[in-house]
Amino acid sequence: MRPLMNISLVVAIILIGAVFGAGFYESVVMAPNYAANVPNSLEHAKEFFSVANPGNFFRLVAPVTQITLLIALVFNWRGAPERRWWILGALLLAVATDVITFTFHYPRNAILFTDPMNTPPEALRAAAGQWMYGNYLRVAFLLSGFLCTIRAAMVRTLP
């Protein structure tokens, strides 16, 4: 059982770290470009993302991360009681991140990328700014979840 406890936690750390890294990248690189020179910047982004977009990554890796955190929680529940709360915290933060994504970011994505050339530039600038500040919250949640999983890995397990 101990190998499953540790392996599931390591996989969860890697996955939540990947989601955090991708979210951080979006905040530092992508979001500033969305807000620059609207609507042209958004039209260029739409053209650039014609084959794949960040959603392709997040729609796959975010749920897999949550499932992996749940598996790690189950495997560590009895053998590592101090770990369970850190893993549970990471799982709740990962789920909260998706709640923010679906309720806050998806509506703004629709404004930004559906038809930017026919949307008033003021509405695009507002949506881009809101998206960017909302992403800071998502990144903070993901960083906190990532740190929770690392802290869980530092806890000793029962023999």
- For residue 138, which of 109, 108, 95, 85 has the smallest C-alpha distance? 95
If you average pLDDT over residues 40-59, what whole number do you get?
Answer: 92
Contacts of range 63-68, beta carbons closer than 8 Å, 24 or more positions apart: 63/98, 64/15, 65/12, 65/15, 65/16, 65/18, 65/19, 65/94, 66/91, 66/94, 66/95, 66/98, 68/8, 68/11, 68/12, 68/15
Give me the pLDDT at residue 3, please.
83
58-102 pLDDT tens trace: 999 999 999 999 999 999 998 888 899 999 999 999 999 999 999
How many CB atoms are closer than 10 A to CB 67?
13
Residue 151 has pLDDT above 80, yes or no: yes
Planar angle of CA 46, 47, 49, nearest 5 degrees: 65
ω into 39 cis (within 30 of 0): yes
Banded model confidence at residue 1, pLDDT cuts 50, 70, 90: low
| Average pLDDT score, the chain | 93
DSSP code at position 117: G
Give me the pLDDT at residue 157, please.
67
Give me the pLDDT at residue 115, please.
86
Residue 37 has pLDDT above 80, yes or no: yes
Residue 159 has pLDDT above 80, yes or no: no
Banded model confidence at residue 156, pLDDT cuts 50, 70, 90: confident
| Predicted TM-score of the model (pTM) | 0.92
